[in-house]
Amino acid sequence: MTQGAEVAESTGVCPSRHGKPAGLPCAAGPLPHGRPSADARPCGRGSASSGTRIDPPRFRALHLVAAAEAPDPQQALIHRALATGRPDAALAAALEEAAVAVGSPAHASLVSTRQLLVWAADLSADRSAREHRLLLAALHDLCGENPLDMELWARIETLPPSPLRHAAWAGRAVMEDRFGAALDHLRAARRGLAFWYAREDEVTSPGSRLNPVPSAGAVIDTVEAAVACRMARGGATVDAATRALDARVLDTVQARAARRLLLAGQVYAAGPHHVLRLLGDSTPATPGRTATPEAAERWSSRLLLVRGECRVLTGDLEAAAGDLREVLRRHQASPGHPERRRALERLTIAHFLLGNWQEAEAVVDGIDTAGGGTAGRALRALLSAFRGSGAPPRRGSWVPPAPTTPGAAEPDHVVIATVARILALSAHRHHGDVLAAIRWLTAPSSALEDAPAKFAPLWLPARAEAAVETATGASSLAGLAELHECAERIPYLMVTHHRLAGRAAELRGNPTAAVDAYEEGLSTAKGCAHVPPVHLAQLESAYGRLLCLLGHTASGLRHLERAQHTFASLGAFPFDHRCTQERAALAERASPLWPDGALTERGLAVARLVVSGLTNSQVAENLLISEKAVEHHLGRIYRTLGVRTRAELASRWPR
- What DSSP string runs through 194-215? HHHHHTHHHHTSTT-TTPPPTT
Answer yes or no: are the C-beta atoms of 87 and 34 closer than 8 Å: yes
Element (H, E) at 43: strand 41-43
Answer yes or no: are the C-beta atoms of 228 and 258 closer than 8 Å: no
Longest dimension (CA), the chain: 113
Q: Say which residue, 239 or 611, is predicted with more confidence.
A: 239
Q: Say which residue, 583 or 229, is predicted with more confidence.
A: 229
Q: C-alpha angle with apex 591: 586 to 593, nearest 5 degrees?
A: 75
How far is CA 41 from each of CA 51, 82, 240, 319, 365, rounded to the nearest angstrom? 12, 10, 42, 42, 38
The percentage of the chain sitting over the pLDDT mark of 90, rounded to a whole number, equals: 46
Region of poorest pLDDT, from 144-158, 315-329, 456-470, 590-604? 590-604
Answer yes or no: are the C-beta atoms of 126 and 89 closer than 8 Å: yes
Answer yes or no: are the C-beta atoms of 121 and 34 closer than 8 Å: yes
The predicted structure's pLDDT at residue 210 = 42
Residue 380 has pLDDT above 50, yes or no: yes
Tally helices (H) and strands (E) across the chain. Answer: 34, 2
Answer yes or no: are the C-beta atoms of 602 and 511 closer than 8 Å: no
Distance CA 142, CA 161 (A): 19
SS3 content of the chain, % helix, strand, coil (to 5): 70, 0, 30
Residue 40 has pLDDT above 70, yes or no: no
Element (H, E) at 25: strand 24-26
Which own/partner pairs from 235-239 qualify as long-range (CB within 8 Å, at least 24 positions apart)? 235/265, 235/268, 235/269, 235/450, 236/265, 237/261, 237/262, 237/264, 237/265, 237/268, 237/269, 238/262, 238/265, 238/266, 238/269
Closest Cα to residue 337, out of 322, 327, 346, 347?
Answer: 327
Region of poorest pLDDT, from 138-152, 196-210, 214-228? 196-210
In residues, how long is the chain?
655
Q: Residue 405: which pLDDT band, with cuts at 50, 70 and 90?
A: low
Answer yes or no: are the C-beta atoms of 456 and 486 closer than 8 Å: yes
Quick one: CA dihedral 155, 157, 162, 168, positive or negative? Answer: positive
How far is CA 649 from each of CA 90, 612, 637, 654, rounded to the nearest angstrom? 93, 11, 9, 10
Average pLDDT, the chain: 81
Amino acid identity, residue 308? Answer: G
The predicted structure's pLDDT at residue 63 = 74
The arithmetic mean of pLDDT across residues 445-450, rounded, is 89
Answer yes or no: are the C-beta atoms of 27 and 82 closer than 8 Å: yes
CATH for the stretch 601-652: 1.10.10.10
Q: Say which residue, 21 or 485, is predicted with more confidence.
A: 485
- What predicted TM-score, i.e. pTM, was given to this entire model? 0.79
Q: C-alpha angle with apex 489: 482 to 308, nearest 5 degrees?
A: 115
β-pair partners for 25: 42
Amino acid identity, residue 280? Answer: G
Quick one: CA dihedral 251, 254, 257, 258, positive or negative? Answer: negative
The percentage of the chain sitting over the pLDDT mark of 70, rounded to a whole number, equals: 80
SS3 85: coil
Answer yes or no: are the C-beta atoms of 396 and 424 closer than 8 Å: no
The packing angle between helices 301-314 and 317-330, to 10°, is: 160
| Radius of gyration, alpha carbons of the chain | 32
The packing angle between helices 533-549 and 511-526, to 10°, is: 150
β-pair partners for 26: 41
Q: Say which residue, 497 or 470, is predicted with more confidence.
A: 497
The arithmetic mean of pLDDT across residues 607-621, rounded, is 84
Distance CA 621, CA 577 (A): 40
Taking only the tens place, the pLDDT of each residue in 499-508 is 999 999 988 8
Closest Cα to residue 326, out of 312, 307, 313?
Answer: 307
Distance CA 53, CA 256 (A): 41
The predicted structure's pLDDT at residue 53 = 54
Region of poorest pLDDT, from 365-379, 392-406, 428-442, 454-468? 392-406
Residue 612 has pLDDT above 80, yes or no: no
Taking only the tens place, the pLDDT of each residue in 63-118 is 777 778 778 787 888 888 888 878 999 999 998 888 887 444 444 446 788 888 99
